[in-house]
Every structure is written in structure tokens, then in C-alpha cells.
Amino acid sequence: MIEVNGLVKKFDDVTAVDNISFKVREGESFGFLGPNGAGKTTTIKMLTTLLPPTKGTAKVHGYDIIKQSDKVRECIGIIFQEPSLDERLTAYDNLYFHAALYRVPRKEIKPKIDKALSMVELKKVKNKVVNTFSGGMKRRLEIARGFLHMPKVLFLDEPTLGLDPQTRRVIWEYINGLKKDFGVTLFLTTHYMEEAEESDRVGIIHNGKIISIDSPDNMKKRIGKDTIILFDRDGNERAVRALGFDVTKTGDKLHLIVDNSEDALRKILKGDVSIDGLAIKRPTLEDVFIELTGTAIADEAGSPMELMKQAVRIKRRR
């Protein structure tokens, strides 16, 4: 559904996206994971024809983003990082305006709007002005708008940025429903680990370069094993060693490094081990990112986009 080959974007002397290539399958959810300034939004702007690439090629649903930009726009939906609703209009009028821009046949507009608003549970407030909505309601309306014309690919640029955890969960229920019910291909940019975890595959981008693409589970398996933590009691260390585990003792806790925590627990429960309590620590995508880049997911002063912003500020002062 998406094919990217050698895509580059430069702003003056700053390379925001540096020769990236990847593919996204039809019906797949693809998470683009990286810190702010890594090149995620720049990539999504190129794929949605909002920004021309400096070099390279890309196709969306078989259409070239430069030569067939109108065709690309017809088959995609976008949920922008920044709010993009007209808050002086009602929810219904925002969707009507969008339908008109996408040339939805007049007789289909009302049924499509009603269906979209029902999907995100906003039909009861369709005639209310958007500036009265909460942040979560506005985001749900943007989802409805992005899906109104039934796109083949839905691009989501940090779709839950700034929302509280409960609202974020609700938003993702709607987004995952689109994928399940309609087979929409999802392209997501995020720096939230739990959102990337839900993707079929994840591409980790750092300083404009893609450094790894795989399923979240495969990424985590490559960097380490599970750790089982048991409270140390008389005879426990001897008992777990007798079961063939490598054991490290830290204070009153025993740390067992294992390939598969479920299999290991079954073995422990059959052995002569006293269990007052235990914990299981598995590698996370945060661990993967740190292993691959040496840094955590966070704003980085030296990132390409941050350098570009600094250059713009300097030019303005001049």
C-alpha cells in the first residue's frame, strides 16, 4: 500500500529525512516510532503530498506522490498532529465541508456524515459548535472527518498527543475499529511506546534515518531475555539453581534470566521453590530504542528538526 525508496528531505543544510526506504502492506498498521524531531512528521507530510521530497520516490496505493499527487490525495485520510477543525462551525458543518472538498456525491453526504458521527459517538452533538467540545471530542471528530470519504490509507500524526491516558485509550478503540471493520491501512507516527506496541510492525527512526523495522515482539526478542524476580527465602537460591537457572542475587531478590518466562514459571512451580511473590520483566520498545540508539525517546537538542528550528530562529533575528 505504501512504497518508499530513498526518500530525502533537506531544509537548507539540515537533513530532516535521510535516505529512508520501507514498505507498508495493505491492511497493516505501521507505527513510525521516534523522538520529537526525528523526521516522523516530515515523512508523513511527504507521503501525503504536503511537502515535496528533495530526493527519492514514494507511492501510496500505487500512485506516485509527485506525478500523481491528486490521485494520492483521493485515496488517503489524514489526522494531523495539530488541531485542524474549524471551531466556529458545528461538527456536522465541519464534515459537510470536508465531504464537499472530496467531491462526495450530494445524495451520499448526509448518510456518510451520520455514519461517521455515530462511529465516534458524536451524533447527538452534531449541531453544536466545535469550540464547545473537549479535546477528546475534537480528536474523535477529526477521526470521523479523516475517514468520511472511506480512504484506503489513514495517516495519523501523533493522534493522541496532549490527551489524558483515558481519552487516548478511547481514541485508539475507534482507530483500531476502522482497521478491523474496514481493512484500512494505518500509518502512525508516535513517541508513545504503548501505541507503537499495538502496531503490526514498527519502524524506528532516529536523526532522520530508519534503524530498524520489525514487529514489536521480534524487536524485543532480539535485544534480551525475560527476567523473573523472586523473593529470596531460605533454600530458594539453591532450589532454583537446581532447576538449571542462572541466578543473580540483589538484596533480598533473586533474578532469573530466562528465554521464556511462561515456560520457566511452569518449571519453577513444579520445583521446591517457596513463592511469596514474583515479578516478570520483559524487554520493552523503550529498551529496544535505547539499545539501538543509545538514548531514550525524548526531545533531543541535536536532532535534525531541532537544528532546523534553531536555524530559522537565527535567520529571523538577523
Tracing cell 528533495 back to the chain, one arrives at: 54
Q: Would you state the pLDDT for residue 155?
A: 95
Q: Would you state the pLDDT for residue 312?
A: 45
Q: Lowest-pLDDT range, 27-36, 56-65, 279-288, 290-299?
A: 290-299
State pLDDT tens for residues 149-170. 889 999 998 888 777 888 788 8
Going by pLDDT thresholds of 50, 70 and 90, the confidence category of residue 298 is low
Question: By C-alpha distance, which of 291, 284, 290 is closest to 220?
Answer: 284
Going by pLDDT thresholds of 50, 70 and 90, the confidence category of residue 314 is very low
Tracing cell 543509545 back to the chain, one arrives at: 294
Q: Which one has a higher pLDDT value, 125 or 165?
A: 125
**pTM of this structure:** 0.78
Q: Which one has a higher pLDDT value, 310 or 259?
A: 259
> Counting beta carbons within 10 angstroms of the beta carbon of residue 265, is it exposed (0 to 12), middle (13 to 18) or buried (19 or more)?
middle
The domains located in the chain, with CATH, are: 2-219 (3.40.50.300), 225-281 (3.30.70.260)
> Counting beta carbons within 10 angstroms of the beta carbon of residue 315, is it exposed (0 to 12), middle (13 to 18) or buried (19 or more)?
exposed
Mean pLDDT over residues 224-250, rounded?
79
Mean pLDDT over residues 3-32, rounded?
95
What is the CA 142 to chain-centroid distance, rounded?
A: 17
Mean pLDDT over residues 7-19, rounded?
95
E-strand stretches of 92-236: 153-157, 185-190, 201-206, 209-214, 226-231
Q: Distance (Å, rounded) from C-alpha 220 to C-alpha 259?
A: 12
For 9, the 3-state DSSP assignment is strand
Mean pLDDT over residues 257-265, rounded?
82
What residues have CB less than 8 Å from 35, skipping those under 6 apart?
A: 191, 206, 295, 297, 298, 299, 300, 303
pLDDT at 264 over 60: yes
Q: Would you state the pLDDT for residue 309?
A: 44
pLDDT at 306 over 70: no
Name residue 31's beta-bridge partners: 188, 202
Q: What percent of the chain has pLDDT over 90?
A: 46
Mean pLDDT over residues 100-127, rounded?
92
Q: Which one has a higher pLDDT value, 77 or 194?
A: 77
Q: Which one has a higher pLDDT value, 225 or 25?
A: 25
Mean pLDDT over residues 207-234, rounded?
84
